[in-house]
Structure 1
Amino acid sequence: MPQVNPEILIWARSTAGLGIDEAAKALQLGGVRQSGSEALEEYEGGGKPPSRPLLLRMAKLYRRPLLTFYLQQPPAKSQRGEDFRTLPGGQAFETAPKLDALVRDVFVRQRLVRSILEDADEAQPLDFVGSITLAQPVAVAAKVICERLSFDLTAFRGKKSIEDSFNYIRGLTEKLGVFVLLIGNLGTHHTALSTDTFRGFALAEKVAPFIVVNDQDAKVAWSFTLLHELAHIWLGRTGLSGADIEQKIEQFCNDVASEILLPEAEMEAFRPMGDDRQGLIDAISDFASRRKVSRALVVYRLLKRHQISRKQWLDLAEEFRRQWEVERARKKEQAAESTSGPSYYVVKRHRVGNALVEVTRRAIAEGFVTPTKAGRILGVRPTNVQELVGAA
């Protein structure tokens, strides 16, 4: 058996975002004579070679292929596109190993899907990827995207629920050949990535572009994030997006998504009167609800129109966030008490989207992919693939 470089063990654990104690416990190391952390330190220090069963457990925990542990040196840091997120004062955003793992996983899925399309002679480059620039007027860019999507604002607002409205935009997007994933963790709630870490990710490839929407965010914000990332696809700019409005590209994508969901002409109808904070909150809430958009979007537009100050914007955004967190906690309690709910396969299918399920189903039927690769595309175990695509 090839020797394992201890540096690989350290690199794999640290890039998975795990400390010594946490990893040792998850790997079930340690015993009477030696603690788990001491045992792992011995392996990582080169004092003892890891067994194959241990490497298999590490591969699963650290989300790395087994062959990775037999590399001579840790690989160079993978690219995840541009980072369009910023912090106050121009500080760099802290690197999140879990986010790197998520983005790395999306790149793998994209390559597998592109390979399937190439094998099926369906890998047609999408001409709209990278077809606009930041010099384009926002209204023009919004119109171009709407027309290509065949987006109807009345139809969007006419859906029964916020989630139905999102599904409407998602369906139109997937018809264009863009795959849309709802991902906010690495498979368990313990690995959830908050919206402070990222809101969306766009992989702007000409063939099989991908969009990720962080489903840890409020559902009412999903449509905006999808359109924001779609603007990134039109710009041809792969990267991560956050909640900031400082970077020029983020402002542009925010403004395009805003114009699609809440046209400037409609903002003329919203004229908050006086300095009554609660009255303003109530007016914003009603205005947003009737249009199936988030209150955060409305206050952003009010800020851009200079109808509220930056101080008011920060105050209102924080208030709406606080209210959402209270509501989210309440719904989690209700879900925990409920004995009914959608099946695992219904939930998983919703997260990966109909387009990805259908491509995988056809690829399996035509022999283009193995169950293992199909599982990697769909984010499930190979044994669960048939059940998931069979439900199609």
Structure 2
Amino acid sequence: MERIQSINPQRIAWCCADNGISPGDLASQLDIAAGSMERVMAGQDGMTFNQLRKVAEYFGRGVLFFLEQGPVDEALVHTLQFRTLANQKPELSPKLKSLIERVEKQREIYLSLCEDLEDNGRPLFNPPALPQHDPREAAGIARQWLGLSEQNSFDTYREAVEARGVLVFRSNGYSGKWQIAKQNPILGFALYNPTCPVILVKKETSESRQSFTLMHELAHLLLHKTSSIDDEQDMQSHQGGERNANAFAGHLLVPDAFLRHINDAQRPDDASLYDDWLAETRRAWGVSGEVILLRLLDSGRLQQSQYAAYRHWRARSAIPQRDRGSRLYRHREPKHVFGDTFVRTVLDALNARHITLAKASSYLDNLKINDLQKLERHCAGL
């Protein structure tokens, strides 16, 4: 079979290093003979088009990328937002790096479809001016900007943020390219863009924890106007920008006025019963018990030892996340992952015949045609 001899082995080597694997690992995963890969890397042989296509798909690049001469210019390959996140967390796994790039690609798709649709009513990102050093006041302004009511859930918080021109993605609970592995400490990230920022929230067993991650990432967009990636330690940080983001999220989700609904006299002595004590308010506000307790701690209504006892209990009784589950509602998954704004834009472009069914499927996590039609009916409320 004819081989392509003009392959640039430097680019294969760069992609391997960027993904934390060796050319030998790549060959093994793509079922390419180790000897063949060694000759390619030494510039002594080429690849078949099918082999090169596999390499390109594995790294999320085009075939032509590996035929260009010269070294890779990272500034052209990775966006500023990507490099910001990679610099914040140099230990990011190759899978997570690929996820970040996929999110960026989805944003490009979204903006391109909006341009095709012209006047499609796309929500514009026009954030309010917020005080940089007063998270309480900033959260109050942001809460009004979002138009939040007193009762909320992760879904209503997400809808409110999307309505203000921010795409909100959530990782998938199933193993695949849109998943953040449960053992990975990353909880979310924000990609700043002055016209169309994106937030991704890690799917967790408790949706109320997702609410805090969402608002923490929103803080980075509104207060710091920068991209950020955050893990569990960042969500507990008392330093710098992370401290401000945590305080902003806490005050936005649980304003001072909400705390008046909590009766301290009914607080149980046993920290393991705190969630039961706060059950009604947790459900109404769509937040975790920990967020409420932190707000009580900050306001001087809870002692540090009481909060520490709760944290200790929760760490010992954490509910493990499940890897698998029923996919009876596969057609709804794109909406769970990409959000209502993105999904409706794809469907509008499909109905306007700007894209084909096959293209729409590829934009919606390769949804089968039958499931795509079910998704259309679901979005139409049928």
TM-score band, normalised by shorter chain: 0.7 to 0.9
Equivalent position to 1:170, from 139, 158, 165: 158
1:259 and 1:83 mapped to 2: Cα distance? 26
Contact 1:198 1:214 in 2 (8 A): yes
Give the SS at the match of 1:80.
Answer: helix
In 1, Cα distance between equivalents of 2:178 and 2:161: 30
- 1:62 is matched with 59
- Bigger drift between 40-49 and 3-12 goes to 40-49
Cα separation, partners in 2 of 1:374 and 1:189, compared to 1, 3 Å:
closer
Q: Which residue of 1 aligns with 2:365?
A: 379
AA of the residue aligned to 1:286: W
The answer to whether the 8 Å contact 1:202/1:233 transfers is: yes
SS in 2 for 1:212: strand
Shift in CA distance, 74/214, structure 1 to aligned 2, threshold 3 Å: same
State the Cα distance separating 1:382 from its structure 2 match. Answer: 8.8
Alpha-carbon separation, structure 1, partners of 2:64 and 2:311: 46
Candidates 260, 269, 287, aligned match of 2:278:
287
Give 2:317's match in structure 1, choosing from 323, 329, 338: 323
State the partner residue of 1:363: 349
Residue 66 to residue 113, structure 1, CA distance change in 2 (3 Å): same
Q: Taking structure 1 as reference, are residues 187 and 252 closer, same or farther at Cα in structure 2, changes over 3 Å only?
A: same
Structure 1 residues 184, 128: closer, same or farther in 2, change over 3 A? same
Paired position in structure 2 for 1:181: 169
Offset of residue 373 of structure 1 = 5.8
Check conservation: 2:166, 2:197, Cα contact below 8 A: yes
Q: CA deviation at 1:182?
A: 0.7
Which segment drifts farther, 236-245 or 178-187?
Answer: 178-187
With normalisation by structure 1, the TM-score equals: 0.76
The separation in 1 between residues aligned to 2:15 and 2:160, in whole angstroms, is: 39
The match for 1:234 is 222
Aligned residue in 2 for 1:256 = 248
TM-superposed CA distance for 1:59, in Å, is 2.1
Instruction: Give the CA deviation at 1:321.
Output: 3.9
Asked whether the 8 Å contact 1:220–1:294 carries over to 2, the reply is yes
Q: Are 1:80 and 2:74 counterparts?
A: no
Name the structure 2 match of 1:95. 92
Per-residue CA distance 1:51-85 (angstroms, 9 max, x = gap): 11111112222222222222322231623354499
| C-alpha distance in structure 2 between counterparts of 1:376 and 1:68, whole Å | 21
| 2:50 aligned with 1:53 | yes
Q: How much does 1:316 deviate? A: 4.8
Distance 2:230 2:313 in 1: 22
Task: Determine the structure 2 residue equivalent to 1:26.
Answer: 29
Cα distance between partner residues in 2 of 1:296 and 1:147:
24
Mark the CA change 1:109 to 1:228 in structure 2 (over 3 Å): closer, same or farther. same
Would you say the 8 A contact 1:80–1:103 is kept in 2? no
Return closer, same or farther for 1:208/1:388 CA change in 2, 3 Å cut-off: farther
Answer whether contact 1:360 1:389 (CA < 8 A) is retained: no
Deviation at 1:21, TM superposition (A): 5.6
The answer to whether residue 131 in structure 2 is matched with residue 140 in structure 1 is no
Identity over the aligned pairs, expressed in percent?
22
Task: Determine the structure 1 residue equivalent to 2:111.
Answer: 114
| Structure 2 counterpart of 1:149 | 146
**Structure 1 gap segments, 5+ residues each:** 31-35, 87-91, 157-164
Deviation digits for residues 174-228 of structure 1 (CA, Å, limit 9, x no counterpart): 2222211112589618963447542112223232322111115642211111122
Matched, 1:224 2:212: yes
User: Secondary structure at the residue paired with 2:52?
Assistant: helix
Letter in 2 for 1:257: A
Query: Residues 159-187 of structure 1: CA distance to partner in whole angstroms, max 9, x if unpaired?
Result: xxxxxx21111122222222111125896
Letter of the 2:68 counterpart: L
Could you tell me how far apart the structure 1 residues matched to 2:352 and 2:316 are?
Answer: 50
Are the aligned partners of 2:123 and 2:163 in contact in 1 as well (CA < 8 Å)? no
CA RMSD of aligned residues (A): 3.7
- Asked if the contact 1:170–1:180 (Cα under 8 Å) also holds between the matched residues in 2, the reply is yes
Partner of 1:390: 376
Matching residue of 1:89: none
What TM-score results when the alignment is normalised by the length of structure 2? 0.78
**SS state of the match for residue 317, structure 2?**
helix
C-alpha offsets along residues 2-51 of structure 1, whole Å, 9 cap, x if unaligned?
Answer: 61111211222333344556533321234xxxxx4x54344333343221
| One-letter code aligned to 2:40 | Y
* AA at the equivalent of 2:72: P
CA distance change for structure 1 residues 298 and 124 in 2, over 3 Å: closer, same or farther? closer
